[in-house]
Amino acid sequence: MEPAEYDDEHDDPDEARSAEGDDGGAEEEETRRPRSVYGVGTEPDVRFSLANERTALAWLRTGLTLVAGGVALTTLASFGEGNEVLDIIAGMACLAGGVLALAAISGWRRRERALRLGEPLPAPRILPVLVAAVALFALAMAGYAVYQVVT
C-alpha cells in the first residue's frame, strides 16, 4: 500500500512533527473534528487522507451536477405546456443531488476511519444505488418515449 518514493524516515506524522518542534500538535489533534473520525486510530499517510478528501469532493461535484441538471430541466419544462414529466424528473434529480452530497460526506467519514484504524477500505455504498437509479431512469424514459409514440 505504500507508494513509491515514500520517505521511510517520516512515516509517523506525529513523531515527525514533534521532532520539528511543533508543540501545538497534540493540542491540535484534540480539537480536530469530527471526533468520531479523529478520536480513533493513528494518523495515516497524509497522501491517502488527501486522496480521500478529493474523492469526497468529486462526489460532491457529481451531486452538484445532478442539481444543476435538474434546474436546467426545470427551465426547459417552463418553455411549454404539458411538461409535467420533465418537472418530476427535475425534482428527482435535485433530490438525488442532495442525497449524493450527504453520501459523499458519509463516505469520507467511513474511509477516513478505516484509514486511521488500518482497516480495509469500505466498499462504496452509494455507487450501486447510483447505478440502479440511472438504469431505472433509462427504463422509465424509454417507457415514456414508447408511450408518446403510441399515443
Partner 1 sequence: MKTPVTTAGLEGDSGAQPQRTMLSWHRTVLSVTLGTLVVSLTAQRQEHSIIAAIAALAAFALLATVLRSLRRWGPYAPARWDVLRLTCGAVVVLGGMGLMLAMANLLG
Q: Is the CB of residue 73 less than 8 Å from the CB of residue 141?
A: no
Residue 34 is a binding residue for partner 1 (CB under 8 A): yes
DSSP string, 49-65: HHHHHHHHHHHHHHHHH
Which residues have C-beta within 8 Å of that of residue 131, sequence separation ≥ 6?
none
Residue 53 is a binding residue for partner 1 (CB under 8 A): yes
- Could you tell me how many helices (H) and strands (E) the chain has, helices first? 6, 0
Select from 9-17, 121-129, 132-140, 142-150 the region that touches partner 1 (CB under 8 A): 9-17
Residue 105 is a binding residue for partner 1 (CB under 8 A): yes
Residue 141 is a binding residue for partner 1 (CB under 8 A): no
Residue 36 is a binding residue for partner 1 (CB under 8 A): no
Strand, helix or coil for residue 115: helix
Which residues have C-beta within 8 Å of that of residue 91, sequence separation ≥ 6?
70
Binding track, positions 59-88, relative to partner 1; x by CB under 8 A: -xx-xx-xxx-xxxxxx-xx-----x--xx
Residues that bind partner 1 (CB under 8 A): 5-7, 10-13, 15-17, 20-22, 28, 31-34, 37, 43, 45-47, 49-51, 53-54, 56-58, 60-61, 63-64, 66-68, 70-75, 77-78, 84, 87-88, 90-91, 93-99, 101-102, 104-105, 108
